[in-house]
Amino acid sequence: MDSVNPATGERIATYEADSDDIVESKLGTAANTFDEWRDRPLREREKLLASAGDVLRENEETYATLMTREMGKPIAQARAEVQKCAWACDHYAEYASTYLESEHHPSPPGTTVKTVHEPLGPVLAVMPWNYPFWQVIRFAAPYITAGNVGLLKHASNVPGCAQALEEIFREAGYPEGVFQTLMIGSSKVDGVIEDDRVRAVTLTGSGPAGRAVAETAGRNLKQTVLELGGSDPFIVLDDADLDAAVETGVLARNQNNGQSCIAAKRFIVHEAIYEEYVDRLVSAFADQTIGDPMDETTDIGPQADPDLMAALHEQVTASAEAGATVRTGGEPLDRTGAYYPPTVLTDVPEGCPADTEELFGPVAAVYKVSDAEEAIDVANDTRFGLGASIWTADRERGERLANRINAGCVYVNQLTKSDPRVPFGGIGDSGYGRELSGPGIREFVNRKTVWVE
């Protein structure tokens, strides 16, 4: 497996893939470790997770640099990702006992009835490259602390991050086998899912990958959580604070070089403020600094892979040919590296790629609507349902409209985000199940009823 810097096209390192024998050995280790790990007191598991948070903080610059070199995110954002991972460890170290506390139920006199939460076993995580540390910690922190053990199949373009994540848990003092990285390609994932020792699967990635994993897991009656793509609406109503809606809109679309499932992708703007908002948004997009992701002043680094950038440009080109207007950007930069500029499309016709597909890069599709009713109709006119953002000075109005949007999460006057304190996940083609908070940690446990007469 080659690690290639998308900013330069240079190979950073080459990693040896795991042979079938090594995979078999790791699966055996996971199963054996689970038998002991599940009986470790929860308080001890919480303390180890707190230690993992300390390891993350102590090595922040090393891990941030590794992320930036392997997938191109600006270094400041990479540091923020490491910090967020440490925060998630802190959160579950403090609250896992609360989330997993037994639930007592009404019962006849003299009886005790409760639901206890017991771990399932080895959990396979198929994770993406766009947030190479956060996506992994987001699954590992809760599931491992609940008593499961983790097997990571990371994206093939971030092998260095995959190995570093395993080292974090080792340095934190976890027993061997609680968290292991499988250095395998996608073609071997089905075989791992089918193995009797693997009890559940979580995936963050594309729709086709999610369907493939769900199909294999379903045949084998194994639980799954899928967080797939999104085409999140960013609704700007006539009474919105335009300064905040522009500033946050730029960040919500372009952070992580625009490569985020919950990025603002469809900007739905009330006609009363449409022209002003679009002019300001276009100006702000054009002002973004594109360059070396290791430079502290860079806003937008390269796309993670030249092929991904080419696919994004095909979507933009097809949308323009269908009638969309390119207001800024729209062409790959003529320079070394997979650089695509922040792009704004207006007059987006129904059915073109910008209207119906996920644009996984710094491209915003903008729609004009006549009122809040039409805004909701446009927001819901998608097969995706991950997140949404609504901007209005009337918080009650925002909450009423939020209840009508078909999505897993809706933020009013805030960008869509994942936060360890609240559940996260989607509906429709954006997947199912929840990560984070109490519902997240309880996804992969046996909710066992215990009746004592």
Q: Give the span between the Cα atoms of 382 and 379, in whole angstroms.
A: 7
Q: Are 364 and 326 in contact (CB under 8 A)?
A: no
Report residue 33 as tokens: 């470790």
Residue 296 falls in the annotated catalytic set: no
- Is 89 in the active site? no
Give the other-Cβ count within 10 Å of 149's Cβ.
Answer: 30
Active-site residue, from 261, 357, 358, 435: 261
Scanning the structure block, which residue is given the tokens 């209840």?
403
CB 232 within 8 A of CB 407: yes
Strand partners, 200: 123, 223
Bridge partners, 151 (sequence order): 124, 180
What does the buried/exposed string (b/e) look like for 372-382 if buried means 16 or more CB atoms within 10 Å of the residue's CB?
Answer: beebbebbebb
325-328 and 112-119 strand pairing: unpaired
- How far apart are the C-alpha atoms of 204 and 416, rounded to whole Å? 17
Tokens standing for residue 247:
């500033």
CB 195 within 8 A of CB 217: no
- Tell me the pairing of strands 431-432 and 122-126: unpaired
Report how far residue 249's alpha carbon sits from residue 263's, in angstroms, rounded to the nearest whole number. Answer: 9
Which residues, listed in sequence order, are joined to residue 111 by a DSSP beta bridge?
none
Tell me the C-alpha distance between 362 and 360, whole Å.
7
d(CA 233, CA 230): 9
Catalytic residue among 46, 70, 81, 227: 227
Q: Which residues are catalytically annotated? A: 227, 261
